[in-house]
Amino acid sequence: MVNWLEGEVKRANRNLFLANGFVLLCLLGMLYADWQYYANFALGCRRIDAAELSSLASPTQHFRNFVTVHGSKSAASGYQDIVQNVEQSSGRVTSTETKDEYILLKVGERIILVKAPTSSQALEFSGELVPTTDAVKTDLIAPIANSTPDIAAMILPFTLDATDYRTQGYWALGIGVPLFLLCCWNLSKAFKRSAEPQLAPVWKHVSVYGNAEQLSSQIGSELLAPHDNYKGLRLTQSWLIRKRLFSTWVSPLNDIVWAYKKVTKRSVNFIPTGKSYAAIIVGRHRQRVEHNLRQKNVDALLSQLATRVPWAVYGFNGDLDNLWKKDPASFIAAVDSRREQPGTKAAAAGS
C-alpha cells in the first residue's frame, strides 16, 4: 500500500504544478498576443522624423511604434472625448468631463492626429501609433474632407495616442509580475517538496502528533475501513481529515478541545436572503478547521463528536472565545480536567 502521507504530498504537489503552470501559460499567452506593445513599453519611445512618419502606411508597419514626434505647427481640431456621469435610477447626467482632445500636428508636409490631454499647447508629443477610430473618421476627418479636402489629404491614416498609452503596461507590471513571481515561488516549493516530502505542510502537521511514518500507516488503514464522510470531512476511528486542492488538514479526535456551529446570515440591500452553516473544530495544538455544511449535517457532526469526545467543549459564547484567544493553555487545562472525570471516561469508553 502506498504511504498515505507520501500520497497526499504528491497530490498537493501535482495540483500546485498544474494550477501554477496553467497561470504561467496564461500570462505568457497574454504577453505573446500583444508582444509588440509590451516590447515597445519596455524599450520606450524613439524619436521619428517627418520623412519616416510620412512613409508609414499603418501604425504597426515598423516594430517600434512608441514614438516621439516633433511638429512645426499645431491646431485644436475641436473634437474631444467627453465622459458623462449618469444617475442610474433617473438617467440624468450629473456631471460632464472632457477627458482629452484631438490636435492636428503638422510634421513636414503631412498632418498627424494627436490624442492629447486637454489644453495642450505643445509641438512635441510622445505616444503610441494606433489606428484612427471609426468615430474620429466619421465625426472629425469626414467634415474636414467635405470643407477642405486639401487639408484632409494631408492627414496620416493613423493617430498618435499621447494620453494613456502606457496604462496597459503599468497594469501588466502591477498584476502580471507579482503573479509571475508567486507562480515561480509555488513551483519551486512543489519541486522541493517532491524531492523532500518531509517539507510539505501535511507532513509537518502530522509530525506534531507523533511519528509521521507510523501515523501515516494508521490513517491510511482507517481510511480504508468504513467511516463517516461529511462532505469531504472524513471522520475515522481516530482521526478527522479534510482534503483541499493544495492541502490536507488532519487532527486526532482526542485532540479536539472545542467545537461549535457557526451561522452566517446573508442579505442583499438589507433584505435577508438566507443563512449558511459551518462546523468549527479546534484542537489542543491550535489546529482549526471551518467546514461548511447543511444545518442538519453540522448538527449531526457535532452530535457525533460530542458522543465520541465528550470532554471537549461544545457551543459558542463570548467568554469561551475570549478565554481561547487570551489564555488557550487554561482552556486546554479545563478540558483535560473534564477528561479525567469518571463520567466522561465512561462515556468515551461506551462510545
List the chain domain ranges. Answer: 12-33+170-194, 35-165, 226-350
CATH code of 226-350, in short, is: 2.30.29.30
Query: Going by C-beta distance under 8 Å and a sequence separation of 6 or more, which residues neighbour residue 342?
Result: none
Same fold, 35-165 and 226-350: no
Can you tell me which residue has the cell 472632457?
Answer: 98
* Strand partners for 263: 277
If we measure between CA atoms, which residue out of 6, 23, 4, 14 comes closest to residue 245?
A: 14
**Which residue positions in the chain have pLDDT lower than 70?**
1-2, 83-84, 93, 95, 119, 342-351
Between CA 323 and CA 171 the distance in angstroms is: 46
* Strand partners for 293: 277
Residues in the chain: 351
Residue 118 has a pLDDT of 75
Given a contact cutoff of 8 angstroms between Cβ atoms, the answer to whether 156 and 110 are in contact is yes
Please give the helix or strand (H or E) that residue 206 lies within, else none: helix 201-207
pTM (predicted TM-score): 0.74
Residue 348 has a pLDDT of 45
Residue 347 has a pLDDT of 46
Residue 65: strand, helix, or coil: coil
Between CA 13 and CA 186 the distance in angstroms is: 9
The total of other beta-carbon atoms located within 10 Å of residue 339's CB is: 16
Q: Which fold has domain 35-165?
A: OB fold (Dihydrolipoamide Acetyltransferase, E2P) (2.40.50)
Laid out side by side, the sheet with 155-161 consists of 46-47, 66-70, 124-131, 155-161, 110-116, 93-107, 73-86
